[in-house]
Amino acid sequence: IFILAIESSCDETSASVIADGKVLNNIVATQSVHEKYGGVVPELASRAHQENLIPVVQEAILTAGISKSQLSAIAFTRGPGLMGSLLVGVSFAKAFAFSLDIPLIEVNHMNAHILAHFIEDPKPNFPFICLTVSGGHTQLVLVRDHLDMEVIGETQDDAVGEAFDKTAKLLGLPYPGGPLIDKYAKEGNPKAYKFPITRMPELNYSFSGIKTAVLYFLRDQLKENPKFIEENLADLCASVQYSLVEMLLIKLKAAVKEYGVKEVAIAGGVSANSGLRDTLTKLAVEKGWNLYIPKFEYCTDNAAMIAMAAHYKYLKGEFSSMDVTPLAKMKI
Ligand code: ATP
Ligand code: MG
Ligand code: FE
């Protein structure tokens, strides 16, 4: 069984072919047009998807060593994401499935970020707790089975990736700033500056406070020293990252305690963050957790994770009808 999967929810155009649960490839075209705007421009994203989608799909089919007539289903990201971006992928998937007369499989992007853990070994055992940290979401998810997940806590405002990107912007770094904060933080002192650790009730998060705190802190410092940022960039990045990682881990620890589950995973773009990876790795040893961290290429948006989700849906015969529409907001 060969399934072609397409991901186009934000600013990555990606295609992947999966054969009986084994991912054969993961072709990703990253859009660079957004860099100069300091964030993803939706209209430019959908235009870039239109340009990139067919070449990306062709490469996925070619490198899988199959012809399109061998495909058994077409999978696509239905949501959540940018409406214009999703529409390109959904429309293409429908047309392709219709022309080949094969079924369509819709995939929830947040579900797929978690299922990225099933692309390669070691795979987490059920039930496990997954901290999904991405550009648009921050969720603690109790994963009972591949397709049985429950959000047990989430951010009430900004996502942690957004907090990384927005503070990076205040520091004058280009979009996406998360990876750059990570890079500079490696040479900095995480205790140099103290940024707030917001504690929300239950297993929820709030990340909007930190950008305001950084904004006012920088405003005051820059009055005294216009070169404050460039002279202290590494310490600033390390301190911001420290607060963000602390906030993530406080609730993760609480979730593990509350649900008595010691299988712990992270997913989403921010799980590429080395501060989070290192601190969490130490914490897992200390607490006796089995920790699962996906490979970098499967942390940020990619079609391999969509293909993985589609594989499980195919096994259950969960197909979509031809009148399926994208959803900008979509619950797990
Ligand atoms: P969602 O999945 O919620 O729809 P998204 O698809 O845009 O959002 P991802 O592609 O999963 O999100 O992740 C992108 C985010 O990950 C960006 O905010 C980016 O800055 C952040 N990110 C990527 N690498 C790192 C890193 N090393 N450190 C911190 N943040 C990072
Ligand atoms: Mg992206
Ligand atoms: Fe994503």
134 lines ligand 1 (CB under 6 A): yes
- Sign of the CA dihedral with 116 first, then 121, 127, and 128 last: negative
Does residue 37 carry a pLDDT above 90?
no
Does residue 21 carry a pLDDT above 90?
yes
Please state which of the ranges 167-176, 183-192, 277-286 shows the lowest mean pLDDT.
167-176
Tell me the average pLDDT of the chain: 97
Does residue 32 carry a pLDDT above 90?
no
Local structure of residue 35 (DSSP, 8 states):
G
Which contiguous run of DSSP H or E holds residue 210? helix 208-224
Tens of pLDDT, residue by residue over 65-89, are: 999 999 999 999 999 999 999 999 9
Does residue 175 carry a pLDDT above 90?
no
Q: Whose CA is nearest to atom 20 of ligand 1?
A: 178
Q: Which ipTM value was assigned to this complex?
A: 0.97
Q: CB within 5 A of ion ligand 3: which residues?
A: 134, 301
**For residue 101, which amino acid is it?**
D
Does residue 113 carry a pLDDT above 90?
yes
Q: What percent of the chain has pLDDT over 90?
A: 96
106 lines ligand 1 (CB under 6 A): no
Mean pLDDT of 54-65: 98
Contact call for residues 250 and 197 (beta carbons, < 8 A): yes
Q: How far is the CA of 299 from the centre of ligand 1 (A)?
A: 8
State residue 152's pLDDT score: 98
In this structure, what token pair is assigned to residue 167? 């503070």
Tens of pLDDT, residue by residue over 228-256, are: 999 999 999 999 999 999 999 999 999 99
State residue 35's pLDDT score: 81
Local structure of residue 288 (DSSP, 8 states):
T
